[in-house]
Amino acid sequence: MASDFAARSDGPLPTSGPGMVYLNGLVGHNGYMGCRLYCPIKGRRGGKYAKKYYPALLKLDNLVLEGSDHPDVDPRTIADPSGSHHRYDAQLRRVLAARNMKDYVDLRRDTGISKPSIFSGISEQHRFTLPGSFPSDLMHLISLNITDVLLNLLRGNLDRGEHDNAEDWDWAALTGAFWDSSGEVVEKMRRYLPGSFDRPPRNPAKKISSGYKAREYLSYVYGMLPGLLVGVLPDKYHKNFCLLLRGIRLILQRKITKEELILAHESLVTFCLEYEELYVQRNPERVHFVRYCIHNLLHLASETVRIGPLCLLAQWTMERAIGYLTQELRQPSNPYHNLSERGLRRAQVNALNAMVGDLEPEPSPPANSIDFGDGYLLMAPKGAVHTMEDSERQAFTKFLQSTGHDIPDGAEVTTAPWARLLLPTGQIARTAWKELAKSDDAPLRISRMVKMKLGDEIRFGEIAYFFQAPVRGTNTALAMVSMCEKPIQGFLDESYGMLCITKWETGSNLVVVEAKSIDSVVAFLPFDQMPGYSFLFEDFGLDVAMLSNDSYTVDENTGEIATDVPTDA
């Protein structure tokens, strides 16, 4: 090569988010000062002999206990931990200056610091300030920790105090026959989830204790439960759940505006306050409902400001790398040495690709596809030329008129349909033309429902088929769409915009749109409370899931771009 490169050995390194907790030198989530971001929240115990502290914001009733009876805490005063490194440095000096073991134990409790972090030995020029070097891991926090608390709460499985009456737990909706029947509904919803939604949730009533994956929790709790719990979970709890959903949906974006970040922060702060008011009710026997994963929601917005979109720093990439490296192991007799060598080789290849961007050729597009730019490709199969029906012709005529063209009266309009469209998101939108031709027992993952931006309006619809036509002198990819009705406003209002319920009829209310107006493939799941209606499920982790796609291999069953990468843990 004509150029020389110098590699630095002190650059940023990937690490395991959960593993970093054991290296930060803090006391952990059971301590009096247990926040991993070292905010000034003080824990509360539920009784004199309780050993664990919980970050409850609201003062507990009928409890006079030194260290746990401080006044209510305004979450807005602790949500931004910036500047915590100054407090951390000062408190660490106090711990290091302890005169004896008793002094050390008291200081460890009061400061939340047990020892210096091993990362204190790294120059401050090459790391974030401590404890800011240990950000929250969004994958485990949202997909595993929060969902574990919520599901155990809704199932009535959290520990109940001696004087806590089970009849007062009116939020325990996922119990008995409904838990079993809703699990069967979840299993049947697999067909309605596009292949790009990754692993569909299994029946939680049967499989939630059998290695339920992070991706399954994400889809089940945040995608399906908002619709399944309508009319089952009392409204006040459902609205509180939708606040959490709105905050998480916004935080999970790869790009987020200032206004969206403010809305996400306010949603999560309000959720945390309402969570304590609704469930804990200042009852000392319920203080354990307030886990630190609930508290960590308060910091997600400020952490996004500090280090960028958290989904880009989450554990998904690390888990995927673990899957890659595990697949490459070829020496079971000496797996750890083999793993280290494979990791070294992968790091060297990545470094070369980063320094010399054109070492690997761009992947070839699928055969017989047409590239329309901006990440949109029409993809085979392509059907035979056919004459548009009257309803299709009317929709096409209306579209052409909006562009300054028209069709002569009585003229036949013929076109050749296309079955699939690759979107910039990496998803593949499919068509009713092909999907409805499959039998009911075919391994179909419906991918014909799409989200579109038409002018300033967001609309949803079912793709009938794609086709090409000259528009303003340019060959353009178009879509024949059966439009969904406007969402029911009452549900949107009661759910902070998170529960979009609508209906459509295949072949009716046809509209022609430019293919580039399609934003993403979405799922519409049957809303059993209103037969014929469906509720929207937009994939939260779409951007994250597509980070490692590096080929155009297409799964013939689902129509999605596939890789040989294992799913996340």
With beta carbons less than 8 A apart as the criterion, state whether 321 and 350 touch.
no
Residues 200 and 294 in one domain: yes
Residues 350 and 410 in one domain: no
What is the per-residue pLDDT for 435?
96
In 333-446, where do the E strands start and end? 370-371, 377-382, 386-387, 414-415, 418-422, 428-429
With beta carbons less than 8 A apart as the criterion, state whether 78 and 41 touch.
yes
Residues composing the chain: 569
Q: What would the pLDDT profile of 91-129 be if each residue is shown by its tens digit?
A: 999 999 999 999 999 999 999 999 998 888 888 777 778
What would the mean pLDDT of 39-50 be, rounded to a whole number?
Answer: 91
> Is the confidence at residue 16, as pLDDT, over 80?
no
What is the per-residue pLDDT for 559?
43
What is the per-residue pLDDT for 234?
96
Q: Is residue 342 part of a domain?
A: yes
Residues 71 and 152 in one domain: no
Q: Is residue 439 part of a domain?
A: yes
With beta carbons less than 8 A apart as the criterion, state whether 192 and 525 touch.
yes
Q: Is residue 151 part of a domain?
A: yes
Q: Is residue 25 packed enough to be buried (19+ CB in 10 Å), middle (13-18) or exposed (0-12)?
A: buried
Residues 469 and 500 in one domain: yes
User: Taking the CA of residue 518 as centre, how many other CA atoms within 13 Å lie in the half-sphere pointing to its CB?
Assistant: 36
What would the mean pLDDT of 292-313 be, rounded to a whole number?
Answer: 91
DSSP-assigned beta bridge partners for residue 399:
none
Q: Is residue 48 very low, low, confident or very high in pLDDT (cuts 50, 70, 90)?
A: confident
- Of the given ranges (8-22, 49-63, 141-155, 340-354), which has the lowest mean pLDDT? 8-22
What is the per-residue pLDDT for 238?
97
Q: Is residue 194 part of a domain?
A: yes
Q: Is residue 439 very low, low, confident or very high in pLDDT (cuts 50, 70, 90)?
A: confident
Q: Is residue 45 part of a domain?
A: yes
What would the mean pLDDT of 236-243 be, rounded to a whole number?
Answer: 97
The better pLDDT of the pair 214, 274 is held by 274
What would the mean pLDDT of 510-532 be, rounded to a whole number?
Answer: 96
> Is the confidence at residue 11, as pLDDT, over 80?
no
Q: Is residue 473 very low, low, confident or very high in pLDDT (cuts 50, 70, 90)?
A: confident
> Is the confidence at residue 568, as pLDDT, over 70?
no
With beta carbons less than 8 A apart as the criterion, state whether 333 and 169 touch.
no
Q: Is residue 54 part of a domain?
A: yes
With beta carbons less than 8 A apart as the criterion, state whether 211 and 538 touch.
no
What is the per-residue pLDDT for 5?
45
In 396-443, where do the E strands start and end? 414-415, 418-422, 428-429
493-497 contacts, C-beta under 8 A, 24 or more apart: 494/235, 494/238, 494/239, 494/242, 495/226, 495/238, 495/239, 495/242, 496/239, 496/242, 496/243, 496/245, 496/246, 496/267, 497/246
The better pLDDT of the pair 312, 56 is held by 56
> Is the confidence at residue 547, as pLDDT, over 60?
no
- Greatest alpha-carbon span in the chain: 98
With beta carbons less than 8 A apart as the criterion, state whether 45 and 53 touch.
yes
What is the per-residue pLDDT for 2?
46
User: Taking the CA of residue 161 as centre, how many other CA atoms within 13 Å lie in the half-sphere pointing to its CB?
Assistant: 14
What would the mean pLDDT of 441-462 be, rounded to a whole number?
Answer: 93
CB-based contacts of 274, cutoff 8 Å, min separation 6: 240, 243
Neighbours of 519 (CB within 10 A): 16
Q: Is residue 542 very low, low, confident or very high in pLDDT (cuts 50, 70, 90)?
A: low
Q: Name the DSSP letter for residue 277.
A: I
Q: What is the H or E stretch that residue 89 is in?
A: helix 84-96
Residues 487 and 410 in one domain: yes
d(CA 548, CA 546): 6
CB-based contacts of 135, cutoff 8 Å, min separation 6: 17, 37, 303, 306, 307, 310, 313
With beta carbons less than 8 A apart as the criterion, state whether 131 and 37 touch.
yes
> Positive or negative CA dihedral for 164, 168, 171, 174?
positive
Residues 203 and 243 in one domain: yes
pLDDT > 70: what percent of the chain? 91
Residues 374 and 442 in one domain: yes
Q: Is residue 320 very low, low, confident or very high in pLDDT (cuts 50, 70, 90)?
A: confident
Concatenated DSSP letters of 34-86: --TT--SPPPB-SSTT----B--SSPPTT---TTT-PPP--GGGTS--TTHHH
Tell which of 109, 135, 161 closes a domain. Answer: 135
What would the mean pLDDT of 48-55 be, rounded to a whole number?
Answer: 91
Residues 80 and 157 in one domain: no
What's the domain range around 100? 17-135
Number of domains in the chain: 4
> Is the confidence at residue 6, as pLDDT, over 70?
no
Residues 130 and 147 in one domain: no
Task: Kindly report the pTM of this predicted structure.
Answer: 0.88
Mean pLDDT of the chain: 87
> Is the confidence at residue 453, as pLDDT, over 90?
yes
> Is the confidence at residue 7, as pLDDT, over 60?
no
DSSP-assigned beta bridge partners for residue 370:
378
Residues 167 and 97 in one domain: no
Q: Is residue 94 part of a domain?
A: yes
> Is the confidence at residue 357, as pLDDT, over 80?
no
What would the mean pLDDT of 79-84 be, rounded to a whole number?
Answer: 71
Phi and psi at residue 479, in whole multiples of 5°? -135, 135
- Of the given ranges (176-180, 314-318, 407-411, 434-438), which has the lowest mean pLDDT? 407-411
Residues 349 and 396 in one domain: no
**Residue among 215, 239, 237 nearest 289 (CA):** 237
Helix axis angle, 235-251 relative to 258-275, nearest 10°? Answer: 150
> Is the confidence at residue 389, as pLDDT, over 80?
yes
pLDDT > 90: what percent of the chain? 61
Q: Is residue 503 part of a domain?
A: yes
